[in-house]
Amino acid sequence: MDVGSVLSILITSLMAMVPIVLTSVGAAWSERAGVVSIGYEGVLLMSAFFGAIFAELAHNAVVGLVGGILVGILLGMLHGALTVYLKGDHVIPGIGINLLAMGVVPFGILAYWGTAGQHQLPHDAQMWHIRTPYGELSPMVFVTIVIAIVTWWVLFKTPLGLRVRSVGENPEAADALGINVEKYRFWSAVYGHALAGLGGAFMSVDWLGLVHKTMSGGRGFIALANMVFSGWNPLVSLIGGWLFGFFDALATWLAPKHIIPGQFILMLPYIMTIIIVAGIIGKARPPKWSGKPYKRE
């Protein structure tokens, strides 16, 4: 492997990192507050689609990113309403959102653009990139790093973050201290889904410049794996997300070379996550009240 390929894999992995890190940072925040969601795959896909429509209409990629955030906020509100206020199951709405996305996006691509399965974005709807000899780099890479660091700092170093974590660890005690458990949980779910929405729009209007009906490609689940792998810590998930992105880029690079089948590289992140949750290496513990509705007595 020469220096050129190493650099190009590194740059690809930085781009691949963005949707994974944004989603895992959002999911970590949401689960720290006690709201579990497995619908991020669907959020990524739908915000990629709607983000592209926003960007095209405005001839501006940044509007597309904001559109993606809006889609995330709406889906987060739906999830929050079902799980926090109506005390419903945390996993089922996510399954519904994933199914919905698998319908809305292929249907929408055909109904809105009239092309089957895929749509190429015009140039004025795409984000500008920093050009290097080894590939293009988006400014969103730096935005993602900043978001991960700031989220970590707020979650672990500020009173707001302490309150968010308290409603996920011990809602009864938080409630007794006068913290509005439902409000914190609801807006945490919204924040989590909003970040995934940004990640989804990044894929269409920034990284790939196209919308494809299966473009989320399991990243919503990789992000969940990364969240667990990183011990529900946004800062660690920045590194974990880059590592997952690296495996993705490595598998793509290795595919035509027939050294190791790409499928085995793609499996690694999931195997590592299982090893870590099993406690064979290190230890990962979810927030205590994660996924359980809190009812005041």
Partner 1 sequence: MKRSGSELLKSLNVRPFIESLIAIFVGFLIGAIVLLAFGYNPFEAYYWLFQGALGSTYGIASTLRYATPIMLTALTFAVGTRTGIFNIGAESSFYFGAIAAVIFTNVWDNMWFGLAMGMLLGALWALPAAVLKVYRGVHEVISTIMLNWIGWFFVLWLIVGPYANPNDPNKTIRIPVAARLPEIGYGLSIAIIIAVIAALLTYFLLWHTTMGFGMRASGMNEKAARYAGMNPKVAVMWSFLIGGLLSGLGGAMKIMGEGPGYAISQGGANIYGFGFDGIGVALVGRNHPLGIILSAIFFGMLRAGTALMQAQAHVPLEIIKVIQGIIVITVAIPSLYDLVKKAIHRGAA
Task: State the residues that interact with partner 1 by CB under 8 A.
Answer: 36, 38, 42, 78, 82, 86-89, 91-93, 95-107, 110-112, 218, 221-222, 224-225, 228, 261, 263-264, 266-267, 270-271, 273-274, 277-279, 286
Q: How far is CA 1 from CA 214, 254, 257, in A?
A: 31, 11, 12
Closer by beta carbon to partner 1, 138 or else 273 = 273
Distance between CA atoms of residues 266 and 258, nearest Å: 14
Smallest gap from residue 18 Cβ to partner 1 (A): 20
Smallest gap from residue 202 Cβ to partner 1 (A): 22
Closer by beta carbon to partner 1, 150 or else 278 = 278
Single out the residue of 115, 24, 31 nearest to residue 291, CA to CA: 31
Closer by beta carbon to partner 1, 78 or else 239 = 78
CB 22 within 8 A of CB 242: no
Smallest gap from residue 231 Cβ to partner 1 (A): 13
Residues in the chain: 297
Smallest gap from residue 238 Cβ to partner 1 (A): 20
Smallest gap from residue 37 Cβ to partner 1 (A): 11
Residue 20, Cα to own-chain centre: how many angstroms? 5
Distance between CA atoms of residues 274 and 31, nearest Å: 18
Single out the residue of 54, 52, 50 nearest to residue 100, CA to CA: 50
Closer by beta carbon to partner 1, 177 or else 278 = 278
Single out the residue of 249, 188, 205, 210 nearest to residue 120, CA to CA: 210
Residues pairing with 119 in the sheet: 211
Smallest gap from residue 16 Cβ to partner 1 (A): 16
Closer by beta carbon to partner 1, 176 or else 281 = 281
| DSSP H or E run through 135 | strand 135-137
Closer by beta carbon to partner 1, 52 or else 147 = 52
